[in-house]
Homo-oligomer: A and B are copies of this chain.
């Protein structure tokens, strides 16, 4: 793998490992504030970060070594309503800036496998920002815990799916056995 694409992958591993951890922390906070559905949604987002971080790590580790990882990430921990807003902003940034830039780098270096995965992840983040926007809208109007259906996470691309699961993942086409239920 070309050097700059590999570095994008390492930095993306850093971003997703940090997001995974932040969502676990947000989930604990939501549970403590009596928002069990939001806590479950944050657990799903944490599992999504884990799926992507794992793919980045596995691929980056083909070039064995100790490397620097550099990324920008929000440090933020407030009430659950504000944490949802921050999560929405972070997903929007990943969908509109971070993963499209990674995709452009990989494509310019003819790293087509990496480019395809980065593109999936931009789509996944767009879906998540839409989902969080809906939850925010509900809470703003109803001032109560939103209803959120069954959640599954695609173990390949990290897409969070609410409600009845599709046959295959609509982003990466993984079989339904890869769609893992979130309790």
Contacts and interface: CB of A to CB of B under 8 A. Distances in A.
Interface in A53-67: 53-54, 57-58, 60-61, 63-67
A96 B60 CA distance: 26
A110 interface: no
A147 B69 CA distance: 35
Given A25-B57, A75-B10, A75-B57, A69 B18 contact: yes
B25 A21 contact: no
Contacts of A10: 75
Nearest to A73: B69
A20 B21 contact: yes
Interface centre among A21, A25, A50, A66, by most chain B C-beta atoms within 10 angstroms, is A21
Interface residues of A, number: 33
A77 B58 contact: yes
A25 B64 CA distance: 15
Contacts of A69: 14, 18, 69-73
B18 A20 contact: no
Given A17-B20, A21-B50, A54-B21, A75 B65 contact: yes
A73 B68 CA distance: 6
Given A24-B54, A66-B74, A68-B70, 12 more contacts: A13-B21, A13-B75, A14-B18, A21-B53, A21-B54, A57-B75, A63-B75, A64-B75, A64-B76, A65-B74, A65-B76, A66-B73
